[in-house]
């Protein structure tokens, strides 16, 4: 399989139900981060992070609490714009486009770069409305198109059989795992190329966590996925690449990045080895 075949897989809506994603193959960078520093009220949370995130792959961000993993994700789709006192410097290119260029609109960027949070965050509306609302807000209002996308993304996340006969029930009536899959479906509905996931399984019981993890695996190849996880076994199971962050001099820094096997089996940096082996962190 070559990289163009990987890219071909990115259009969700030409595909049927989920297939196993292909393994990463000679990937190109989808996100290029250069010298990213981030401050909250003048206090550094990230210091000069430089990192490439590869297209069609799963990249796990690992590291102890407070090392800036969530801040890093928030910078990529400019959620940081919404935080008063947050200042971001450095360059981030998403598919070669500078996200801070005046021509880049945050709403367009966030359509391209979807986000899933730690705690499932369905709107307190019906299951159907959770999907139609963001579509409507992005100008997709034609009923048959909205219905078709709704069915497609619910099938994509394995929820269709569970909810197709109660689409008008409240999303809050779903279990936690179902709510999280609905949130992933909501992100997929806007046809993003990139999915940012901040500890998407940590609020779920082991069974629901396993289902969501399996879903994330099957999205590999079709989406570029950046996932924050404290579950190192999970990172090792699902990610192609891992980036290890650490708080150094009070600000989060990227210590090491590489193929998962390298990071987990023969890390180059002693801090990575100590963290992986549970000695530090």
Ligand X SMILES: Nc1ncnc2c1ncn2[C@@H]1O[C@H](COP(=O)(O)OP(=O)(O)OP(=O)(O)O)[C@@H](O)[C@H]1O
| Helix H or strand E segment including 195 | strand 194-198
Do residues 247 and 64 touch, judged by C-beta distance below 8 A? yes
Distances (CA, A) of 186 to 45, 91, 123, 152, 281: 30, 28, 10, 11, 34
The nearer residue to ligand X, 63 or 134, going by C-beta atoms, is 63
Question: In the bound complex, what is the minimum distance in angstroms from residue 82's beta carbon to ligand X?
Answer: 10
Site mask for Mg ion (CB under 5 A), range 96-135, x = bound: ----------------------------------------
Do residues 194 and 219 touch, judged by C-beta distance below 8 A? no
Hey, is 240 helix, strand or coil?
A: coil
Q: Quick one: which of 40, 117, 123, 160 contacts ligand X (CB under 6 A)?
A: 40
The nearer residue to ligand X, 71 or 272, going by C-beta atoms, is 71
For residue 94, what are its two tokens? 């998403």
Distance between CA atoms of residues 73 and 183, nearest Å:
17
Q: Quick one: which of 12, 70, 240, 272 contacts ligand X (CB under 6 A)?
A: 70
Angle at 43 between CA 38 and CA 46, to 5 degrees: 30
Question: In the bound complex, what is the minimum distance in angstroms from residue 199's beta carbon to Mg ion?
Answer: 7
Question: In the bound complex, what is the minimum distance in angstroms from residue 137's beta carbon to ligand X?
Answer: 25
Residue with tokens 């159907």: 128
User: For the chain, what's the residue count?
Assistant: 281
Stretch that binds ligand X, among 65-73, 123-131, 135-143, 144-152 (CB under 6 A): 65-73
83 binds, among Mg ion, ligand X, none (CB under 5 to 8 A by kind): ligand X
Q: At what angle do helices 176-189 and 206-219 cross, to 10 degrees?
A: 20
Question: In the bound complex, what is the minimum distance in angstroms from residue 69's beta carbon to Mg ion?
Answer: 5
Query: How many residues of this chain bind ligand X (CB under 6 A)?
Result: 11
Q: Quick one: which of 55, 59, 70, 193 contacts Mg ion (CB under 5 A)?
A: 70
Q: Quick one: which of 35, 66, 166, 280 contacts ligand X (CB under 6 A)?
A: 66
The nearer residue to ligand X, 83 or 147, going by C-beta atoms, is 83
Q: Quick one: which of 58, 60, 67, 187 contacts ligand X (CB under 6 A)?
A: 67
281 near ligand X, rule: CB under 6 A: no
| Helix H or strand E segment including 235 | helix 232-238
Site mask for ligand X (CB under 6 A), range 94-113, x = bound: --------------------
- Range list of β-strands (E), 15-79: 29-40, 43-54, 58-62
160 near ligand X, rule: CB under 6 A: no
Distance between CA atoms of residues 135 and 116, nearest Å:
16
Hey, is 32 helix, strand or coil?
A: strand
The nearer residue to ligand X, 44 or 274, going by C-beta atoms, is 44
Stretch that binds ligand X, among 60-68, 91-99, 216-224, 264-272 (CB under 6 A): 60-68
Q: Quick one: which of 10, 30, 36, 45 contacts ligand X (CB under 6 A)?
A: 45
CB within 8 Å of 101: residues ≥ 6 apart: none
């Amino acid at each position: 399989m070559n990289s163009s075949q990987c890219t071909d897989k990115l259009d969700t809506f030409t595909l049927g139900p989920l297939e196993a994603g292909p393994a990463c193959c000679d990937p190109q960078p989808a996100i290029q981060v250069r010298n990213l520093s981030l401050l909250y009220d003048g206090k550094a949370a990230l210091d000069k992070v430089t990192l490439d995130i590869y297209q069609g792959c799963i990249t796990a961000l690992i590291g102890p609490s407070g090392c800036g993993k969530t801040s890093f994700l928030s910078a990529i789709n400019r959620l940081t714009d919404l935080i008063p006192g947050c200042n971001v410097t450095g360059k981030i290119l998403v598919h070669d486009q500078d996200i801070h260029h005046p021509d880049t609109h945050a709403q367009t960027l966030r359509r391209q770069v979807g986000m899933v949070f730690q705690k499932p965050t369905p709107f307190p509306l019906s299951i159907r409305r959770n999907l139609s609302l963001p579509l409507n807000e992005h100008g997709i209002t034609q009923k048959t198109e909205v219905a078709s996308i709704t069915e497609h993304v619910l099938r994509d996340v394995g929820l269709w059989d569970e909810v197709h006969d109660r689409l008008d029930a409240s999303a809050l009536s779903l279990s936690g795992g179902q709510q999280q899959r609905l949130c992933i479906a909501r992100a997929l509905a806007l046809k993003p190329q990139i999915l940012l996931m901040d500890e998407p399984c940590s609020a779920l019981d082991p069974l629901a966590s396993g289902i969501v993890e399996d879903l994330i695996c099957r999205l590999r190849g079709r989406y570029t996925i950046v996932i924050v996880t404290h579950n190192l076994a999970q990172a090792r199971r699902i990610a192609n690449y891992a980036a290890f962050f650490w708080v150094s001099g009070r600000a989060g820094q990227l210590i090491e990045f590489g193929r998962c096997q390298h990071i987990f089996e023969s890390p180059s940096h002693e801090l990575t080895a100590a963290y992986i082996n549970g000695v530090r962190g």
